[in-house]
């Protein structure tokens, strides 16, 4: 085998290994995670608690990419409002944004009315 063919074969082997390893690890984790977590909790409750706290903190720090809070524009908010009711039609975005604005205005009026009655 000449150097060029060897180099190509080596690159192909590395690409295959790099692509398969993460899939195999994900598969292994999916197949064994419950048992491994159970064993960790039984053998080392302190380590289990430490890892669980770190995982929960990491999960809580990641905003839901589909939440209304993470919308970066009114159009994106409108799309998410529509999606929340099962409609993926982007042609109705302006109507969804207008409906949301009306809803917020009504909530503001309720708040103002309630605060006025409390004074």
Task: Give the distance from CA 101 to its chain's centroid.
Answer: 27
pLDDT of residue 111: 93
Residue 11 has pLDDT above 80, yes or no: no
Percent of the chain having pLDDT more than 70?
A: 89
Together in a domain, 72 and 118: yes
Residue 95 has pLDDT above 80, yes or no: yes
Together in a domain, 1 and 13: yes
- Given its phi and psi angles, is residue 86 left (phi above 0), alpha (psi -120 to 50 degrees) or beta? left
Q: Are 9 and 1 in contact (CB under 8 A)?
A: yes
Together in a domain, 48 and 72: no
User: pTM of the prediction?
Assistant: 0.43
Residue 101 has pLDDT above 70, yes or no: yes
Those residues with Cβ within 8 angstroms of residue 40's Cβ, 6 or more apart along the chain or in another chain: 47, 48, 51
- Residue 18: pLDDT band with limits 50, 70, 90: low
Together in a domain, 74 and 58: no
Overall average pLDDT of the 79-92 stretch: 87
């Amino acid at each position: 085998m000449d150097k060029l063919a060897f180099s190509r074969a080596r690159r192909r082997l590395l690409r295959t290994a790099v692509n398969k390893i993460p899939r195999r690890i994900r598969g292994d984790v999916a197949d064994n995670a419950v048992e491994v977590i159970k064993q960790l909790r039984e053998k080392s409750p302190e380590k289990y608690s430490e890892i669980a706290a770190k995982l929960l903190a990491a999960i809580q720090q990641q905003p839901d990419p589909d939440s209304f809070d993470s919308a970066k524009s009114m159009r994106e908010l409108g799309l998410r409002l529509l999606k929340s009711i099962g409609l993926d039609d982007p042609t109705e975005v302006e109507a969804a944004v207008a409906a949301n604005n009306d809803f917020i205005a009504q909530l503001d009026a309720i708040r103002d009315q309630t605060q006025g009655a409390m004074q």
